[in-house]
Amino acid sequence: PPWELRKLRRCVCKRRYLRNSWGECVPRLKCIPCQFRWQKDYRECADACPATCNLPFSKSCGKPCAPGCACPPGWVVHPRKAWKCIKTYRCLPKCPAHSEFQACVSSCLPKCGRVTPEKCEVNCDRGACVCKKGYIGLEK
């Protein structure tokens, strides 16, 4: 969770650097502009097309990332206030039948016709619609 990473900021990174919500050490001075944007944190490679409540949770928009303030994992840009982030569960997208939105998604969710990966990772950046218990997804 982001608040756990913040507890360790000064003792993990070298002098004049802070640990951001993604666990990256960034120059302290670059963090200052983000302090005035509710819940945003500085990142050297911020998503050029961040997830918002009113936009689909796509993996990429085709634009390169850029340094700037971004919503931490598990948060998205507010639909009407771009300077503000809100928790993903506060703006759930409409999911297909037999699925529901989850803020954090495993890379090892079962899918028809796919072997489960050897190494599973959990991603809390954007969230996704996942199958309800008793259902299995189709490989796309």
pLDDT at residue 7 tops 60: no
Chain segment 25-83, per-residue pLDDT in tens: 999 999 888 887 788 999 999 888 888 876 655 556 777 888 999 999 888 888 778 88
Cα angle, residue 110 at apex, residues 109 and 115 outer, rounded to 5°: 110
pLDDT number for residue 2: 56
Chain segment 97-115, per-residue pLDDT in tens: 898 888 788 888 877 777 7
H or E element, residue 101: strand 99-102
pLDDT number for residue 27: 92
Dist. CA 70–CA 88, nearest whole Å: 14
> Which of 91, 80, 3 is closest to 41 using CA atoms?
3
pLDDT band at 9 (very low <50, low <70, confident <90, very high): very low
In the beta sheet, which residues pair with residue 137? 111
Q: Which class for 71: exposed (0-12), middle (13-18), buried (19 or more C-beta within 10 A)?
A: buried
pLDDT number for residue 43: 92
Q: Assign 3-class secondary structure to 32-61.
A: HHHHHCCCCEEEEEECCCCCECCCCCCCCC
**Number of helices (H), then strands (E), in the chain:** 3, 12
> Which of 38, 102, 110 is closest to 69 using CA atoms?
38
pLDDT at residue 1 tops 60: no
> Which of 36, 1, 5 is closest to 20 using CA atoms?
5
pTM of the model as a whole: 0.56
